[in-house]
């Protein structure tokens, strides 16, 4: 379950159900929206109610790296790591097993560039190419050289020069700047693509440099620099795309596709975007997650109709998402919990445009929830105010909101006017923390000043 982006030199790619790929910087204003299953608070909206429409997570409007796990989520905002949802293995916040419907700050993760969320474990990639892991580790999925579980604090993985990460159900992948691929964790279906002591990173033979990775429940994908998509692991529904349902323990090419530019791995299905902007899917299709208008499983890639200019992909347990070059979001597949974010709980075997979400810069899909970073054209007070009480907001985020202020219901303005200088600290340098209720009084009476 993860999302795309890259900070050091790969194509922007996405993946999910326990995976991630690169981390591109967010646009100037990117707020976090979630939809779907929420029993463990994995939507971060301060409730445990499922949501079928995109719901704003009140953690600021400059979201960067994000990922959705089985039942938890991770997001970076202003170099601060937030997590929420199920915490049974301390995969969100060390020191407790309480689930969190309210975003929690995770300390010790500075200069975060990418996250990856598995079923019950978490990965974090930093700007210096190092990597940390925490959470469930009974099969070595944290990659720290032992099977101690849970790993209660983010702990270094013995790899350097890492540029992309992915987390499957109980296995993990990492891509280094030289194009080499490493894997660790559960290997009962060959999902590591190699053999050895699986509690530490193992080099995977891919036949050439890799530029993107994705991890499904029990299978893995890698995009080679020559545009060939590789797949390995469990293949009971044809999710390896080689025309068979036979398990493969080492990487092999997906049939019938080339010039691949983005990949995603779901529970038991796979996705690829090719250079002409179209999308191919294969594997399990009981809920229409392949988007080909049927519910037939496919062991060879099929084209998803009515999609073009696609640049990002995400795949959940049984649902899929794609983003085009304009930032429009499309979803399809299982929708039992509203994870398609289209206002219904009706599943769809064809892509549907998600309304009310624009300029998407990141997308990821958990088992039954979806998370995006979106840059809306308009903001209102609800975008910075919490659902209850006050919230501390960084002034830099605030100015983005003000610059894009849109129509919404606000309290009556106070009798005097304010200006931006009233929010800045004395001397005009740096940011300061401002209470939202005080802030709203300033905004509603905004006036002119020199």
Domain of residue 159, CATH code: 2.130.10.30
Least reliable range by pLDDT among 147-151, 268-272, 429-433: 429-433
* Overall average pLDDT of the 215-244 stretch: 98
What was the pLDDT predicted at 420?
A: 54
Q: Are residues 354 and 404 in the same domain?
A: no
Domain assignment present for residue 234? The answer is yes
User: Is residue 306 scored above 80 in pLDDT?
Assistant: yes
Strand ranges inside 130-198, DSSP E: 131-135, 151-156, 162-167, 171-176, 181-185
Domain boundary among 377, 410, 428: 377
Tell me the pLDDT tens digit for each residue of 251-299: 999 999 999 999 999 999 999 999 999 999 999 999 999 999 999 999 9
pLDDT band at residue 404 under the 50/70/90 scheme: low
User: Is residue 78 scored above 80 in pLDDT?
Assistant: yes
What was the pLDDT predicted at 432?
A: 52
Is the CB of residue 321 less than 8 Å from the CB of residue 34? no
Domain membership of residue 427 as a residue range: 387-444
Q: Which residue would you say has higher pLDDT here, 305 or 390?
A: 305
pTM to 2 decimal places = 0.83
Q: Are residues 143 and 59 in the same domain?
A: yes
Domain assignment present for residue 9? The answer is no
Least reliable range by pLDDT among 1-5, 105-109, 110-114, 263-267: 1-5
Joined together, the tokens standing for residue 310 give: 């696609």
Q: Are residues 149 and 60 in the same domain?
A: yes
* Overall average pLDDT of the 182-209 stretch: 96
Q: Which residue would you say has higher pLDDT here, 432 or 375?
A: 375
User: Is residue 413 scored above 80 in pLDDT?
Assistant: no
User: Is residue 146 scored above 90 in pLDDT?
Assistant: yes
% of residues, the chain, pLDDT over 90: 72
Q: Are residues 138 and 228 in the same domain?
A: yes
User: Is residue 181 scored above 70 in pLDDT?
Assistant: yes
User: Is residue 339 scored above 80 in pLDDT?
Assistant: yes
What was the pLDDT predicted at 444?
A: 59
Domain boundary among 350, 377, 404: 377
Q: Which residue would you say has higher pLDDT here, 371 or 419?
A: 371
SS3 for 393? strand
Taking 3-state DSSP, the helix, strand and coil percentages for the chain, each rounded to the nearest 5, stand at 5, 40, 55
* Sequence-distant (≥ 6) Cβ neighbours of residue 277 within 8 angstroms: 307, 308, 309, 310, 311, 324, 325
Least reliable range by pLDDT among 93-102, 242-251, 436-445: 436-445
Domain assignment present for residue 431? The answer is yes
User: Is residue 421 scored above 80 in pLDDT?
Assistant: no
26-40, 199-213, 425-439 — most confident range: 199-213
Domain assignment present for residue 288? The answer is yes
Joined together, the tokens standing for residue 73 give: 């989520």
Domain assignment present for residue 426? The answer is yes
Least reliable range by pLDDT among 115-129, 242-256, 328-342, 388-402: 388-402
Closest C-alpha among 197, 241, 175, 188 to residue 218: 188
Q: Which residue would you say has higher pLDDT here, 387 or 187?
A: 187
Whether the bond into 150 is cis, omega within 30 of 0: yes
| Tally of CA atoms within 13 A in the half-sphere of 342 that contains its CB | 22
Q: Are residues 425 and 284 in the same domain?
A: no
What was the pLDDT predicted at 25?
A: 34
Q: Are residues 267 and 247 in the same domain?
A: yes
Buried (b) or exposed (e) across 43-74, using 16+ Cβ within 10 A?
Answer: bbbbeeebbbebbbbbbbbbbbbbbbbbbbbb
What was the pLDDT predicted at 21?
A: 30
Q: Which residue would you say has higher pLDDT here, 415 or 245?
A: 245
Domain assignment present for residue 250? The answer is yes
What was the pLDDT predicted at 6?
A: 28
Domain assignment present for residue 176? The answer is yes
* Sequence-distant (≥ 6) Cβ neighbours of residue 223 within 8 angstroms: 11, 13, 210, 211, 212, 213, 229, 230, 260, 261, 262, 263, 272
Q: State the total domains in the chain.
A: 2
């Amino acid at each position: 379950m993860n999302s795309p982006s890259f900070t050091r030199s790969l194509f922007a790619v996405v993946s999910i159900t326990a995976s991630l790929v690169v981390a591109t910087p967010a646009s100037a204003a990117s707020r976090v929206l979630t939809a779907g299953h929420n029993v463990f608070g994995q939507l971060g909206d301060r409730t445990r109610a499922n949501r079928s429409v995109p719901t704003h997570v009140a953690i600021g409007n400059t979201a960067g790296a994000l990922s959705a796990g089985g039942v938890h989520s991770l997001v970076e905002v202003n170099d601060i790591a937030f997590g929420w949802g199920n915490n049974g293995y301390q995969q969100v916040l060390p020191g407790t097993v309480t689930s969190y419907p309210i975003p929690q700050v995770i300390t010790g993760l500075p200069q975060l560039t990418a996250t990856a969320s598995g079923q019950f474990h978490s990965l974090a990639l930093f700007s210096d190419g190092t990597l940390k892991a925490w959470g469930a580790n009974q099969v070595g999925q944290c990659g720290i050289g032992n099977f101690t579980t849970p790993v209660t604090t983010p702990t270094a993985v013995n790899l350097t020069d890492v540029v992309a990460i992915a987390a499957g159900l109980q296995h993990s992948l990492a891509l280094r700047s030289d194009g080499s691929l490493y894997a660790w964790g559960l290997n009962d279906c060959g999902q590591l693509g190699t053999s050895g002591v699986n509690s530490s990173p193992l080099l995977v033979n891919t036949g050439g440099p890799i530029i993107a990775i994705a991890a499904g429940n029990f299978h893995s994908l890698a995009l080679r620099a020559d545009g060939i998509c590789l797949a390995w692991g469990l293949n009971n529904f044809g999710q390896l795309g080689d025309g068979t349902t036979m398990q493969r323990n080492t990487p092999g090419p997906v049939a019938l596709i080339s010039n691949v530019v983005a990949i995603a791995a779901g529970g038991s299905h796979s996705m690829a975007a090719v250079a002409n902007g179209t999308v191919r899917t294969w594997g399990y299709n009981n809920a229409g997650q392949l988007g080909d208008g049927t519910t037939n499983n496919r062991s060879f890639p099929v084209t998803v109709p009515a999609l073009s200019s696609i640049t990002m992909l995400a795949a959940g347990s049984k649902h899929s998402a794609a983003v085009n070059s304009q930032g429009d979001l499309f979803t399809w597949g299982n929708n039992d919990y509203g994870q398609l974010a289209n206002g219904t709980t009706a599943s769809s075997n064809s892509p549907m445009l998600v309304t009310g979400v624009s300029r998407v810069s990141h997308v990821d899909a958990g088992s039954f929830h979806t998370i995006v970073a979106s840059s809306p054209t308009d903001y209102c007070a609800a975008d910075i105010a919490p659902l209850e009480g006050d919230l501390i907001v960084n002034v830099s985020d605030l100015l983005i909101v003000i610059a894009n202020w849109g129509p919404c219901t606000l309290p009556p303005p106070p009798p005097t006017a304010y200006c931006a200088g009233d929010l800045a600290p004395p001397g005009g340098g740096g940011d300061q923390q401002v209470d939202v209720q005080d802030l709203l009084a300033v905004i509603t009476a905004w006036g002119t000043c020199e």
